[in-house]
Amino acid sequence: MATLDVNVEVSARHVHLSQEDIEKLFGAGYELKVKKEIAGGFVAEERLTITGPKRSMERVAILGPARKGTQIELAATDARSLGVDAPIRLSGDLAGTPGIKLTAENGNSVETEAGCIVAQRHVHLSEEDAAKLGVEQNQNVDLKIDTGKKRALVFGDVIVRIGGPVSVVHLDTDEGNAACTGRACVGTVIAE
């Protein structure tokens, strides 16, 4: 058994937009404004209201740049509140997922045909760290989080994504709230 401590990042609900949907919402040739650079892209200044069968959620973050397909990443609690049956999927795996209504502050809206997912928890590992753990792409590992504040938890089914400069675990807010306390959180990846 091999273990490795890795930083944990918790992502709140957010939307990635296709260029087509950006233009439907904001106008022809529109480019999202960069509010803050993050790994692999940026948080946009623009925000959206997402509306499901049961309710709306306002001021949802958009992450740029534009992607091939519009993707709405929700925590399971968000999906339940909105009334959408979002499946647990890896980013980009959108076939057969439910759509939702997206509305910009200018009043323009778009009904997506698909795109709502609950992101499958995963760990990005550098090539070096993957070798240390002896794990392969798409393998499942466990993740133990114990911040010493009575919320110790071991997650199974954490999928390995190899590549990128820095190793980091990505959880959603349900998972983060269940196990992490405070802003900084470190987990231990456990590979058989």
Which residues contact Zn ion by CB under 5 A? 170
- Do residues 51 and 100 make contact, with C-beta atoms less than 8 angstroms apart? yes
Q: Which is nearer to Zn ion, 92 or 156 (CB)?
A: 92
Q: What are phi and psi of 80, to 5 degrees?
A: -65, -45
State in angstroms the smallest separation of the CB of 117 from Zn ion.
13
Q: Which of 165, 126, 117, 121 is nearest to 141 (CA)?
A: 121
* Residues 6, 186: Cα–Cα separation, whole Å: 6
Instruction: Give CA–CA dist 11/120, Å, rounded.
Output: 12
Residue 44 or 125: the one with the smaller Cβ distance to Zn ion is 125
Give the pair of three-digit tokens for residue 154: 């071991």
- Shortest distance, position 91 Cβ to Zn ion, whole Å: 7
**Nearer to Zn ion by C-beta: 24 or 170?**
170
Contacts of 30 (CB under 8 A, 6+ apart): 22, 23
Shortest Cβ 33–Zn ion spacing (Å) = 23
Give CA angle at 156 (150, 160), nearest 5°.
Answer: 120
Residue nearest to Zn ion (CB): 170
Query: Token digits for 173?
Result: 């807010």
* In the complex, least distance from residue 180 CB atom to Zn ion, rounded to whole angstroms: 16
Minimum distance, C-beta of residue 170 to Zn ion, in the bound complex (Å)? 4
Beta bridge partners of 60: 48
- For Zn ion, the closer of residues 49 and 173 by Cβ is 173
Select 14 or 170, whichever has its Cβ closest to Zn ion. Answer: 170
